[in-house]
Amino acid sequence: MDKKVLKLNRYIFILLIILLTPLSVLADVTVVGEPVVGEYTGTTTLQFGSVYQIQAAVLGNGVITPPAKVVIKPPTITDIYVGKRLYHKDIVDKGETFYVPRKIKIKAIVKAPDGIDKKKISMVLNEKGGPSPSKTFQLAESNISSKSIKAAKIIKAEIEQQVTDLGLGENTVVIKAGNAGGTTSQTLTLTAVSGQGVIGDVVVYPSPFSITKDGKAYIQYTLSEAANVDIYMTAVGGVVIRKISCFSGTEGGNVGRNKVEWDGRRDSGEMTGNGIYVGTLVSGGKILKKFKFTLKN
């Protein structure tokens, strides 16, 4: 073959390589679109006139990087109230019994910066068995007392639900909230009781109590149901020196644990003298419990 022809063919080959190079570069031209929830970032590429979602980004130096993902965080559940009492899971986990009636309102705050799916919010009674059959309470719009919205998504919701049919004894209520990122749950352990009365003993502390040094004493007891309660402090001979009234649903009249303050003074405002006194819890004309305490200044 003629040398001129060979040389010409070589030039043509080099020219074809140069001309084809921009076509491959087109494969790396990207158009950034709106991310697809839970999928890759939504970056698309143009290649030979077609548009498709890439599986990896090809850099100019030939290094392939993994695709970026949109991370959806599942909701968080906080500030759980059972009736009017804040539920402290860590204290219950340590063995403290949380007493409730057989019907109770539960409130909580659900947060999720990426949005909350209302259809995935529920409360489940005795999901894994208990003193009463399992029951699911699916929250509706009416169960959301308030909400915060951002970019057409609910990012915070205050929810409340009346949970009924608790069996006598230890029940569990699981609060669930979810979105595209997953489902979060919080389990409450609630012991349902019935009938009016005091569970366990009445505790007064500090004991002995000094008005001048301690300032206040605390009378602690657990009610099996909410009720109006009167606390009578009596001296030797049955003379009432102080009466403290607690209304149903307030501190001292709540179902569960109550803690009532006493400043050590009589109804007249005078300081109570040293001695041993008797306390009596009364509700509806019925004596619920008696206890003793010592006052020493």
Beta bridge partners of 287: 282
CA distance 217 to 259: 10
pLDDT tens figures, 187-205: 999 999 888 889 989 999 9
Residues 88 and 179 in one domain: yes
Domain endpoint, select from 65, 84, 115: 65
| Residues 93 and 183 both lie in one domain | yes
| CATH code (residue 236) | 2.60.40.4070
Summarize the confidence of residues 136-156 as an average pLDDT: 92
Residues 87, 159, single domain; the answer is yes
pLDDT band at 148 (very low <50, low <70, confident <90, very high): very high
Alpha-carbon torsion 149, 154, 157, 162, what sign?
Answer: positive
The yes-or-no verdict on residue 43 having pLDDT over 70 is no
Q: Does any domain span residue 71?
A: no
Taking the C-alpha atoms of residue 184 and residue 157, their distance in angstroms, rounded to an integer, is 14
Please confirm whether the linkage preceding 67 is cis (ω < 30° from 0).
no
The residue length of the chain stands at 297
- Please report whether residue 70 resides in a domain: no
Contact 157, 164 (CB under 8 A): no
Q: What is the pLDDT of residue 92?
A: 93
Round to whole Å and give the CA distance between 33 and 36.
Answer: 9
Question: Letter for the amino acid at 296?
Answer: K
Same domain, 164 and 205: no
Q: Are residues 275 and 241 part of one domain?
A: yes
Q: How far apart are CA 95 and CA 186, in angstroms?
A: 17
Cα distance from N-terminal residue to C-terminal residue, the chain:
124
Between CA 41 and CA 53 the distance in angstroms is 9
Q: Name the residue among 272, 206, 207, 268 with its Cα closest to residue 236.
A: 272
Domains in the chain, number: 3
Mean pLDDT of the chain: 83
Residue 18 lies in a domain: yes
Same domain, 281 and 212: yes
Segment (H or E) for 85: strand 85-86
Asked if pLDDT for residue 59 goes beyond 80, the answer is no
Residues 110 and 57 in one domain: no
- The domain boundary, picked from 41, 65, 89, lies at 65
pLDDT of residue 16: 65
**In this structure, is residue 227 part of a structural domain?**
yes
Full domain range(s) for residue 61:
3-65
Helix (H, G, I), strand (E, B) or coil at 14: helix
CATH number (domain holding residue 126) = 2.60.40.10
Instruction: Give φ, ψ of 254 to 5 degrees.
Output: -85, 150
Out of 192, 225, 245, a domain closes at 192
The answer to whether residues 210 and 288 belong to one domain is yes
- Under the banding of pLDDT at 50, 70 and 90, the label for residue 35 is very low
Please check whether residues 91 and 173 belong to one and the same domain: yes
How confident is the model over 65-81, as pLDDT tens digits? Answer: 666 677 899 999 999 99
Q: Assess whether pLDDT exceeds 90 at residue 240.
A: yes
- pTM reported for the whole predicted model: 0.67
Three-state SS at 126: coil
pLDDT in the model for residue 62: 57
pLDDT at 255: 87
- Do residues 218 and 287 share a domain? yes
pLDDT for the residue 65: 62
Q: Are residues 118 and 159 in the same domain?
A: yes
41 and 111 in a single domain? The answer is no
| pLDDT above 70: residue 237 | yes
Inter-CA distances, 284 with 110, 195, 245, 289, Å: 40, 13, 12, 13
Burial level of 86, CB count in 10 A (0-12/13-18/19+)? exposed
